[in-house]
Each structure stands twice: as structure tokens, then as C-alpha cells.
Structure 1
Amino acid sequence: MKPTRAGTTENISVSMPAELISELRSRTGRRGLSGYITEAVRHQLAMDGLADIVASHEEAHGALTEQEVEDARRELFGEESARTSGMDAA
């Protein structure tokens, strides 16, 4: 196992469609593949955690309003993102 900023690493084997692996390698090169996948998994875990928070909130307080969603977007991504997101919904 190699040390990383988050501790040690472990080799695993995952199966993916060949065309997906080919596209990943064309974007990252062979050496960047692990880092790219690691960041993608970190991102997905964060999104899963956010979905858990939203589900828990909605269970306790009902569905989020459009204003609450807009406020959360602004808090997370800034004013411009909230404005752009609002245009997509129209």
C-alpha cells in the first residue's frame, strides 16, 4: 500500500465498460486514471451524503421549497450559479 494525503491506498479491481475506460485513459493517461477515479468517487460520496441530509430534512419538515433550494445553491456555489440555475428551470 502507498501512502497518500488521506492515508494508505489499496489496490482494487473494478469492472467498467471498455469504451468508458478508453475515454478515461484518453483524458487522464494511464497514470492519472486512479486519481481521476478517486476524485469521482469522493464527489459521488459527497453527493450521496447531501442526498441523505435532504431526505432527512424533508422527512422531518416536508419537501424543500424552491426558495430553500435556491438559497442552498447560492450558499454552496455562489450568486451566479443560483441565477443560472433559475434560468434553467424556466
Structure 2
Amino acid sequence: MATKKYTVTLPEELAEEIRAEVGSGGFSRYVAQAIERQRERDHLHEFVGWWEGEHGEVTDAELAAAEAERLSLQRQHAERKARSVPQRKAG
């Protein structure tokens, strides 16, 4: 992907905290990934607005069911990942 240099203004303290965490070489990548994540959130928010316009608001019960399913899938993934890691032999 082609890149182009832009000038942006950020709060100095925030920028320096990020630079300290990712190093000077990772700063642009970090900012680009943050922008991509925000765009994904914006698109999801737009989709949810459309969905609710078509089907009515998402209820608390539906949100709770979706969260329970997400947590279940997350647990299944963690369990499978743990099983796939070779166990160390006690020496």
C-alpha cells in the first residue's frame, strides 16, 4: 500500500505516551491502526442504526444474549488454543 506523509496535531502528552510505548518507528503504524479501528466502529454504528430503523431497537435481552454468546465463543477459542499448545514435560 502506498503511503503519504501528513501533518496532524495531537496533544503532546498523548503523542509522547504512544511514542514511548511503540517506539518512533511504530508511531505511524499505531496511528493508522487506530484510524482503521475508528472507521470500523463508525461503520458498525451506521449499520446498527440502519438495522434498528428496519427492525426496531435492540433490546437489553438481545444485547445480553449476544454478549453471552460472545463470551462462550471466546472461552471455546481459549480452550482450543490451550489444547493446541504442546505441554512442557516436568524435568
Shared fold per TM-score greater than 0.5: yes
Change over 3 Å in CA distance of 1:71–1:49 after alignment to 2:
farther
Larger RCO: 1 or 2 (CA < 8 Å, sep 6+): 1
Structure 1, gaps ≥5 residues long? 1-6, 82-90
Other structure's SS at 2:13 match: helix
What count of residue pairs does the alignment treat as equivalent? Answer: 74
Q: Does 1:27 align with 2:31?
A: no
Q: State the TM-score, normalized to the length of structure 2.
A: 0.69
Change over 3 Å in CA distance of 1:40–1:32 after alignment to 2:
same
Who is 2:36 aligned against?
42
Q: State the TM-score, normalized to the length of structure 1.
A: 0.70
Q: Does 1:58 align with 2:59?
A: no
Q: CA RMSD in A?
A: 2.0
Greater mean alpha carbon deviation, residues 19-28 or residues 59-68? 59-68
Q: Does 1:16 align with 2:10?
A: yes
Instruction: Supply the AA of the counterpart residue of 1:70.
Output: A
Change over 3 Å in CA distance of 1:74–1:34 after alignment to 2:
farther
Larger C-alpha radius of gyration, 1 or 2?
2
Measured after TM superposition, the shift of residue 64 of structure 1 is 0.3
Structure 2, gaps ≥5 residues long? 75-91
